[in-house]
Structure 1
Amino acid sequence: MFERFSPAARDSVLQAQVVARELRQPMIGSEHVLLGVLWQDSGPAREALVAAGLDYPTARERLAQLVGDELDPQALASLGIDLDEIRSRVERTFGEGALDGPDRRPEPRGHIPFSKGAKKALELSLREAINLRSGGIDAEHVLLGVLGDVGSLAHRLLESFAVDPIRLRNDLRGRLRASA
């Protein structure tokens, strides 16, 4: 399927791997692919994302916040575990900031696999290209595929910026029709 990807679409997927690696994620998710499209210099997909109020550095930082905390304080509290109390005890014993060291997750090496959601988004990008009678898969089709994966972390990321994925999808499709 990747042989049908344009250079911009390939670059988006390669950047998705870079983001996943930097965030020490074990898999490339649709949220990483979304950032890979936003990373592009130009094109209707990036223009639609920017028009919706997103920019790469801010979106990347927000994603880092969304995926960064593996512990759910509310879930642990329901089990009688108080993270604030644990932090306080550790800092009394080992010094202030003892838990604030570098990320303990190792950086993934080699090939990072695609998550089920990312695979679905890329498959949807092929369908979008076929439906739009395109000769290949471009970054716009990749973004449409990501937007078609309802309930994904990519959708949560967009919604954290008050971006409606359906409205963004319609805007992008309108831009594609206008440029055809």
Structure 2
Amino acid sequence: MLERFTKDARQVVTDTQVQARELGHRRVGTEHLLLALLTGGGAAAETLGRHGLDAADLRARIVRAAEEPLDPEALRAIGIDLDAVRQATEETFGAGALDVPAGAGRPRGVLRGHIPFTPEAKKSLELGLRQAIRLKQKHIAPGHLLLGLLHDESFPSARLLVGAGVDLGELRADITGLLTSKAA
């Protein structure tokens, strides 16, 4: 599949390793792909910027998401109010009782070598290929990778975009329009 990637798309995939390593993460996720797309320049990055996404803000959102081991929205869906649980715990055990200690969960030292991709990140790359096929295009460009990240709204990348106020449907339409106009 990688042989179909454009030079820019290959660079994005390479840059995900850098992004994960800089954040001290042991796995490359869809959020790292999104950050690599945003910081990589080019049409996909410009489109993300036009939709209000900023690299520093996205990086901060990724850090916050990694520090919060529980997904408040998922818990709410099954009837658990994380804020109520946190409040009750702090009333019993004191302020910050559920906080993760600084540096906990972070690897010690510098990560070396290849950082493995999460199943979601692998799936998003496959979905990027499917988007190129759907658009009848022979190569996979950064825009196709972005469409792959947007395909499944449960991916961390899509949740981060929604959290940043991005309308996923509008972003999909803009990227698709960009890809099809370049092919024409």
Task: State the TM-score, normalized to the length of structure 2.
Answer: 0.79
**Amino acid corresponding to residue 3 of structure 1 in structure 2:** E
Distance 1:87 1:68, change over 3 A: closer
Please give the per-residue CA displacement for 1:10-69, whole angstroms capped at 9, x wherever unaligned: 1111111111122222211111111111112222x1222111011222211221112123
- Check if 1:11 corresponds to 2:11: yes
- Check if 1:167 corresponds to 2:166: no
Q: Residues of 2 paired with 1:167 and 1:32: CA distance?
A: 22
- Check if 1:134 corresponds to 2:143: no
Q: Residues of 2 paired with 1:47 and 1:41: CA distance?
A: 7
**RMSD in angstroms over aligned alpha carbons?**
2.7
Q: CA deviation at 1:135?
A: 2.2
Number of the residue aligned with 2:46 = 47
Number of the residue aligned with 1:92 = none
Q: Residues of 2 paired with 1:109 and 1:85: CA distance?
A: 39
- Check if 1:62 corresponds to 2:61: yes
Number of the residue aligned with 1:38 = 38
Q: CA deviation at 1:122?
A: 0.3
Per the alignment, in what secondary structure is the counterpart of residue 94 of structure 2? helix
Equivalenced residues, count: 168
Q: Is the 8 A contact 2:153 2:159 kept in 1?
A: no
Query: Gapped runs of 5+ residues in structure 1?
Result: 89-98
Q: Alignment identity in percent?
A: 40
Please give the per-residue CA displacement for 1:88-109, whole angstroms capped at 9, x wherever unaligned: 8xxxxxxxxxx54x56621533
Per the alignment, in what secondary structure is the counterpart of residue 168 of structure 1? helix
Query: Gapped runs of 5+ residues in structure 2?
Result: 73-81
1:140-155 aligned at under 5 Å gives the runs 140-155=143-158
Number of the residue aligned with 1:105 = 106
Q: Residues of 2 paired with 1:67 and 1:24: CA distance?
A: 10
Q: Residues of 2 paired with 1:16 and 1:151: CA distance?
A: 19
**Amino acid corresponding to residue 127 of structure 2 in structure 1:** L
| Structure with bigger gyration radius | 1
Task: State the TM-score, normalized to the length of structure 1.
Answer: 0.80
Q: Is the 8 A contact 1:120 1:149 kept in 2?
A: no
Distance 1:151 1:41, change over 3 A: same
Q: Residues of 2 paired with 1:136 and 1:166: CA distance?
A: 23
Q: Is the 8 A contact 1:146 1:154 kept in 2?
A: yes
Number of the residue aligned with 1:23 = 23
Q: Show structure 1 runs of 4+ deviating over 3 A.
A: 69-78, 80-84
Distance 1:130 1:108, change over 3 A: same
